[in-house]
Amino acid sequence: MHKKITDTTATYGLGNTPQAKLFCVPSGTYTGRRAALIQTSPNEIKLAWSDAPASGWSSLMTVAGDAADECFDARMAPNGDIHVIYCEQSTNYLVTRKLTFTGGTWSVGSKVTVYNGALCFDPSLAIEPGGIIWVSYSRSVSPTRWIHAKSSSDSGATWGSGASDAGAQISGGSMFAWSKLAIDNNSIHVVYHDQDTALSIRSLPLAGGSWSSQYNIASGSGFSGFDVAIGADGRLGVTYLSDQLYYREFDGNNWGAITSLAAPPVVCPQVLFENNIPAVVFLSDIGSDSTYARFVDRRTGIFCASKVLDGRSAPLDSVLLYDASAAAYEDLTLQAASYNAADVYHSASGCMVKDPGDTLFLGMNERFRIVRLLLSTVAAGGSAQVSYWDGVNWEAFTPPGGNVSFDTSMVDLLLWTDYSSIPVNWQKRLVNSQSRYWIKIEVVSGYTTGPVASQVSATSEITRMIFRR
C-alpha cells in the first residue's frame, strides 16, 4: 500500500537513513497498529497511526513544536511506548520526549534534556533487551565534532549524571562525525564515520566493562552514507557508500570480507535481516533528481544482482511514440532510460509529439502513478489529452496536478495522488504488440515547437526512504 500521509516543509522530513520513523505495536490488543513520525515543518514533529492495511491514517498529532530543522530519531519499546530524541530549535541541545501508549493512542510527555553543554546533531537511539535506552550523537564545538554515547535506566526520565554530562566519548575530534547505535544480546555497538575517511566501531558489553578500542570497518574517502542492522542470530551487518555500495558483516568473532553490491549513483542505503538473510535496499539515481528503489539480498549464499523493489516506480517498461502523418510507431524505451541528451524523438517529426494525433504511450507491467520527463527542447503552443485504457475505451482524465504540459524542462506529471487513488478499472492493452498498463498522451492541438526529451520515467523525487525494521 502506498498512501500519502502529509506534506513536509522541513529540510529532513524523514531524517537520516540510519534513523527510524515507522513502527508497529508488537503485542496486545492493538498488535500491528502502525505509527509514523514525520518532521512536517522546520520545527514540528508529528505522528499519525494506522491499522493494516494502512489504507487510512489518523489525523496528525503534534509530538514537538520546538525541534531544530535537523534529523531526529525514535524507537518503540515492547509495550508500544515511543521514545523520540531531537535537537532543540533555539539551542540545538539534545532533548527527548516519551510517547506513552495507552488504550490504542499515544500521549506526549514532558521534554527532558539529555545534554546541554554544546550543539548536538544526528542522534541515534537504541534500547537494550532489559529496557535501558541509549543514544549516540555528534557533539559540536566549531569546527570540531565528537561522537558520544549516553544512557537512561529509567525510561528516559534522566540521562547519565545529568544534562551537563556529555556521556562517553567514542571518537576523536574531527570536522565530520555521525553514528548509529545497534544492540544485540551481548553488546552495545556504535558505528560511526570519523573525518569522512573511515567507518569505525566501538562496543560495550551489556554485562558491564569498558568500551572496546576503535576498529576500522573500512578506510578510504568519500563516505556518504551507511547503515547497520543486527540479525536474529546476532550477526552485525554494515552497508556503506564510498566509491561503490559495500557490505561487511561481523559474526560475533570475526569481520568478513568487504563485498561490493552496486555501482553509483546510489543514495540512502539500508540493511535489514529477513529470516537471517541480509538484504540491502537503496535508491538508484538515474539523473535529474529522479530516483527509484532497488535491493540486493543473499538468499543463495552470495548477493544477487540488484533488482527493482517496486515495479510501479522505476524506469518505464515501454516508451512508444506514434507519428500520425507517418502512421508509424517507434520504440524509444532504451533512449528514455539513458543518460544521453535529446534522444527521445520520433524520426518522422524530430519531436516526441507535434501534430494532432501524435501520441506518446508510456507503459509498465504494473499500474503506476507518476511520470517524469526531462526535456531538452520544451514545447510551444499546442495541447494534449491524458487517458488510460479501462478495458473497453481510452478513458480521458485530468490528473490532480493539471493536464500535461511540455513547456518546462522538467515535467512532473502526477497521474494519481497515491496508489490507492489509481482506478481499479485500468486494464492492460496491446499497443504495437506490447501488453502493458498504458498512459496515452495524445496531441489535441498542434505544437508550433514540438518537445524533445532526454529522459522519460516513472520514477520520483524521493530523497529519503526509511524502512521499518
Averaged over successive runs of 10 residues, the pLDDT of the chain (469 residues) comes to 76 78 94 94 96 87 96 95 97 98 96 98 95 97 96 97 97 90 96 87 96 94 88 95 94 95 89 94 80 92 93 94 98 94 97 98 96 96 97 96 90 90 96 98 97 94 74
Residues near 317 by Cβ (< 8 Å), separated by ≥ 6? 333, 363, 364, 365, 436
pLDDT, position 288: 66
Total Cβ atoms within 10 A of residue 226: 26
- What does CATH list as the number for 318-457? 2.60.120
- Quick check: 134 and 150 in contact, CB under 8 A? yes
pTM score, whole prediction? 0.86
pLDDT, position 285: 79
* Distances from the Cα of 335 to the Cα of 118, 270, 323, 339, angstroms: 52, 30, 17, 8
Three-class DSSP labels, 191-221: EEEECCCEEEEEEEECCCCCCCCCEEEEECC
Q: Could you give phi then psi for residue 283, rounded to 5 degrees?
A: -95, 130
- Residue 348 cell numbers, joined: 518522422
pLDDT, position 18: 77
pLDDT, position 390: 98
User: E strands along 88-206, which residues?
Assistant: 94-102, 105-108, 112-115, 119-127, 133-141, 144-152, 168-169, 177-183, 187-194, 198-205
| First-last CA distance in the chain | 17
CA 364 to chain centre: 22
Report the length, in residues, of the chain: 469
pLDDT, position 433: 97
- Residue 321 cell numbers, joined: 511514440
